[in-house]
C-alpha cells in the first residue's frame, strides 16, 4: 500500500493585473513511493478578513493524513468534512482548505495510476471547457472605457464570451453594457450579468427589466445571499435563466427543490474540491438542472482541477468561469494551463497534468497578508463596497 508521509503547505502571494495581491497556499502531499500530489488553497483574499495559521494547519493535516492510503477516498473525505465542516457561506475558508487537499489527492491518484484526473472521473465528455472572460465592476467613467478596451483585447485573442459584474454603480453598469453592444454588436456574447448577491431581488429585477434588450444568456446571484425565495421570484418574473453558487450538497438540493434556479454554479473552492462537486453534479442531473464551473480565480493548479472536473461532467453545459491564470502576473507551475479559442484545455498527462516550478514557488512564497484597502479599492473583489 502506498501511504502519505508528509503534508507541505507553501503560502504564495501573486499580483493580478489590477495590482491586487492574492494569497494562495500550494499543497504538496508526499508519499513513501516518491510521488507528490499537488493542490491549491485558492485566493484567501476574500472576506472574512483573516488567514489561517499555516504552521498549526500543517500539523493538523499531517496528523490526519500521515500513513493514510491516498486511494481511501471515502475515509479521507469524511475526515476532512469532520475537521473542516461547511460554514454555510460561499467564501468558507474551511472549504478552501478541503479543496486544496482534495485536489492534491486526485492529482496523486492520477500519478499513481498513470491516468489523468478526467480519466479517473470516467473520461472526458467535452473536448474542452468553454469559458467566459470576466469584466469587473466599473467605479468611474474611466473604468467603462478601460473595460471596453479590455473586451477588444480579449476578443482579438479569441474570447467571444464575457461575464459582466454588476450591482455596484447601476448607472455605470448600464452605460457599459449599452456601449458594449454598440461597439461590438453580435461579435461578442454576454454570458451573464453577475450581481454577486449585492442587490435584493427587487433591485436586481428592476435592472434586468431595464437591460433585457441587450441580450445576455443568464443572470447570476440576483438576490441577497441566502434569499432562495428571492431567486425564485427573479426566475419567475425576469424571463432570463438564473444561476447561483452552491457551497454544499444541501444548498444545491434546496435550490433544486424550490425551483429557484436554472443553473448551479459549482465552484470547487466553495465546495471543498472535486469529491463534493461530484455530489452536486449528481443532484443537478437528477433535478434536470445545468451546471457551470465557478471560480475564485485560481492559479494553474486549481484551474487544472476545474478543467478536469468540467470536461468529465456531463451536467456542465454552460460556459464556465476559471480564467485566473490570465489575470495573474505569475504562476507556480512550469507551463500554465492553456486556453484555445476561448476554451480551457484540461492538461494532458497523469493527474492534473501540471508540474510545480520550484524557482517560481520560491520567488512568490511568503506569509499570507492583507494589503490595506484590498477589499475596498479594487474593482475585481467580490464583497467590496460600491
Q: Which residues are catalytic?
A: 91, 165
Name the residue with cell 448600464: 174
Q: Which residues contact 74 (CB under 8 A, 6 or more apart)?
A: none
Cβ pair 143, 172 in contact under 8 A: yes
Name the residue with cell 482548505: 97
What is the pairing mode between strands 4-15 and 242-245? unpaired
Cβ pair 224, 200 in contact under 8 A: yes
Q: Which residues contact 258 (CB under 8 A, 6 or more apart)?
A: 228, 229, 232
Cβ pair 247, 89 in contact under 8 A: yes
DSSP 3-state of 62: helix
DSSP characters for 292-333?
Answer: EE--S---HHHHHHHHHHHHT-TTB-S-B---HHHHBS--SB
Cβ pair 265, 246 in contact under 8 A: yes
Sheet with strand 36-41: strands edge to edge: 4-15, 21-31, 36-41
Cα→Cα distances 180→146, 151, 205, 297, Å = 12, 8, 21, 24
Cis peptide before 48 (omega within 30 of 0): yes
Amino acid at each position: 500500500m502506498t501511504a502519505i508521509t508528509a503534508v507541505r503547505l507553501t503560502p504564495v502571494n501573486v499580483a493580478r493585473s489590477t495590482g491586487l495581491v492574492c494569497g494562495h497556499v500550494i499543497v504538496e502531499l508526499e508519499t513513501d513511493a516518491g510521488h507528490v500530489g499537488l493542490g491549491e488553497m485558492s485566493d484567501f483574499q476574500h472576506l472574512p478578513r483573516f488567514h489561517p495559521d499555516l504552521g498549526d494547519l500543517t500539523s493538523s493535516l499531517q496528523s490526519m493524513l500521515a500513513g493514510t492510503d491516498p486511494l481511501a477516498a471515502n475515509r479521507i473525505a469524511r475526515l476532512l468534512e469532520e475537521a473542516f465542516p461547511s460554514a454555510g457561506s460561499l467564501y468558507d475558508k474551511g472549504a478552501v482548505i478541503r479543496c486544496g487537499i482534495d485536489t492534491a489527492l486526485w492529482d496523486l491518484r492520477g500519478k499513481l495510476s498513470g491516468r489523468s484526473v478526467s480519466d479517473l472521473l470516467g473520461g472526458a465528455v467535452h473536448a474542452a471547457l468553454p469559458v467566459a472572460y470576466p469584466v469587473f465592476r466599473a467605479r468611474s467613467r474611466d473604468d467603462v472605457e478601460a473595460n471596453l478596451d479590455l473586451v477588444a483585447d480579449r476578443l482579438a485573442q479569441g474570447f467571444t464570451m464575457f461575464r459582466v459584474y454588476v450591482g455596484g454603480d447601476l448607472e455605470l453598469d448600464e452605460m457599459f453594457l449599452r456601449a458594449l453592444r454598440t461597439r461590438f454588436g453580435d461579435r461578442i456574447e454576454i454570458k451573464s450579468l453577475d450581481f454577486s448577491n449585492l442587490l435584493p431581488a427587487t433591485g436586481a429585477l428592476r435592472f434586468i427589466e431595464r437591460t433585457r434588450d441587450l441580450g445576455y444568456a443568464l443572470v447570476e446571484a440576483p438576490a441577497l445571499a441566502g434569499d432562495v425565495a428571492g431567486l425564485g421570484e427573479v426566475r419567475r418574473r425576469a424571463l432570463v435563466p438564473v444561476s447561483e453558487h452552491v457551497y454544499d450538497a444541501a444548498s444545491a438540493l434546496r435550490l433544486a427543490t424550490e425551483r429557484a434556479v436554472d443553473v448551479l454554479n459549482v465552484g470547487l473552492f466553495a465546495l471543498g474540491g472535486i469529491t463534493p462537486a461530484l455530489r452536486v453534479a449528481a443532484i443537478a442531473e437528477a433535478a434536470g438542472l445545468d451546471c457551470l464551473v465557478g471560480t475564485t480565480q485560481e492559479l494553474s493548479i486549481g484551474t487544472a482541477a476545474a478543467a478536469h472536473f468540467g470536461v468529465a461532467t456531463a451536467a456542465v453545459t454552460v460556459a464556465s468561469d476559471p480564467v485566473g491564470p490570465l489575470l495573474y502576473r505569475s504562476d507556480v507551475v512550469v507551463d500554465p494551463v492553456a486556453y484555445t479559442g476561448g476554451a480551457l484545455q484540461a492538461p494532458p498527462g497523469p493527474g492534473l497534468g501540471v508540474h510545480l516550478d520550484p524557482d517560481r514557488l520560491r520567488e512568490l512564497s511568503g506569509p499570507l497578508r492583507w494589503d490595506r484597502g484590498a477589499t475596498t479599492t479594487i474593482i475585481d473583489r467580490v464583497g467590496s463596497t460600491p
